[in-house]
């Protein structure tokens, strides 16, 4: 998947929403989608970061993006419905959504997971995706073929000690994708997951502070599946969970 060679205009005339677009993998996905012709809607918490990505997109000659400042922690069903109405009004369509924003939460023993901590991680990593998908589905169905891409993790497929609420939220994300994909079969909207694998970002550095960042792939290195699942080459792919990096074992450095 890392060696996927997309055509330069793979996403021409497509409108794609990316959550957590201000930093890390989401920032790179926004830039890569824009570089392949998409109009990107940048959703995230820190407006300054989103503005910087907006400027980068314009500087690289991509279609003019849009910014949706939204903290997924506090966002309500109404916020997502209003957001959908704005996207419909401004762009008239939505061809893809990358659910990328995520929160690591505290790593530690299961017995020590605080209720507030659990709720916060589940709100950002899971419930926001449920509410946003419900709100956006009518627009996605009107824009078919359309693609919903969720972000999983190695700890969302095989449980690992001390990864508590984060790992459980990723298992649930895989489950939500599967339920949705089964329901959406034959609607022209597909749902899939990507497990990015160890990638050089702030989240990874927080989880593995002793690790040398230079031993990791950068977000730019792993864009193959992110582009593949948004473009026409994957139109028949539904209900799959792809590994961006197949040459490493989850939880261990790259061989």
* Burial class, 150, CB count within 10 angstroms (exposed 0-12 / middle 13-18 / buried 19+): buried
Using CB under 6 A as the binding rule, the residues of this chain from 201 to 220 that contact ligand NDP are 201-204
Q: Which stretch binds ligand NDP (CB under 6 A): 58-66, 108-116, 176-184, 195-203?
A: 195-203
Measure the CA–CA gap between 129 and 148, rounded to whole angstroms. Answer: 10
Residue 73 contacts ligand NDP per CB under 6 A: yes
Binding piece for ligand NDP, criterion CB under 6 A, among 3-11, 21-29, 107-115, 235-243: 21-29
d(CA 39, CA 84): 16
φ, ψ (nearest 5 deg) of residue 205: -65, -35
Active site residue 54: no
Q: How far is the CB of 186 from ligand NDP (least distance, A)?
A: 29
Residue whose pair of structure tokens reads 């980068």 in the numeric block: 56
Does 96 sit near ligand NDP (CB under 6 A)?
Answer: no
**Calpha distance 174→202 (Å, rounded):** 23
In the complex, the smallest distance separating the C-beta of residue 188 from ligand NDP, rounded to whole angstroms, is 26
Please say whether the dihedral angle defined by the alpha carbons of residues 175, 73, 217 and 2, taken in this order, is positive or negative. positive
Alpha-carbon distance of 172 to 99, in angstroms, equals 13
Segment contacting ligand NDP (CB under 6 A): 41-49, 89-97, 140-148, 185-193? 41-49
One of 33, 80, 166, 226 is an active-site residue; which one? 166
Interface with ligand NDP, residue 98, by CB under 6 A: no
Q: Which of residues 111-130 bind ligand NDP (CB under 6 A)?
A: 124
At closest approach, how far in Å is the CB of 226 from ligand NDP?
11
CA distances from 5 to 11, 35, 102, 176, 228 (A): 13, 13, 27, 29, 9
* Active-site residue set: 166
In the complex, the residues that contact ligand NDP under the rule CB under 6 A are 20, 22-26, 44-46, 49, 71-73, 100-103, 124, 151, 153, 196, 198-199, 201-204
């Amino acid at each position: 998947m890392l060696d996927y060679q997309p055509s330069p205009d793979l996403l021409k005339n497509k409108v794609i929403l990316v959550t957590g677009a201000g930093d890390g993998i989401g920032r790179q996905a926004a830039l890569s989608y824009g570089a392949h012709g998409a109009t990107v809607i940048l959703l995230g918490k820190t407006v300054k970061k989103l503005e910087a990505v907006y400027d980068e997109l314009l500087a690289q000659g991509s279609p003019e993006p849009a910014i949706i400042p939204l903290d997924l922690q506090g966002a309500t069903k109404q916020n997502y419905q209003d957001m959908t109405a704005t996207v419909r009004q401004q762009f008239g369509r939505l061809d893809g959504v990358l659910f990328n924003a995520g929160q690591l939460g505290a790593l530690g023993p299961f017995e020590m997971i605080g209720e507030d901590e659990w709720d916060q991680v589940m709100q950002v990593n899971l419930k926001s995706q449920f509410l946003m998908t419900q709100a956006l589905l009518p627009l996605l169905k009107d824009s078919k073929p359309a693609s919903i891409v969720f972000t999983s993790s190695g700890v969302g497929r095989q449980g690992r000690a001390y990864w508590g609420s984060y790992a459980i939220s990723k298992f649930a994300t895989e489950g939500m994708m599967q339920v949705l994909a089964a329901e959406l079969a034959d609607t022209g909207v597909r749902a899939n997951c990507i497990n990015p694998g160890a990638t050089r970002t702030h989240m990874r550095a927080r989880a593995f502070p002793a690790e040398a960042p230079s031993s990791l792939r950068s977000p730019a290195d792993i864009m193959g599946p992110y582009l593949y699942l948004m473009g026409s080459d994957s139109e028949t792919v539904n209900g799959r969970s792809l590994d961006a990096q197949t040459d490493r074992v989850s939880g261990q450095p790259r061989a």
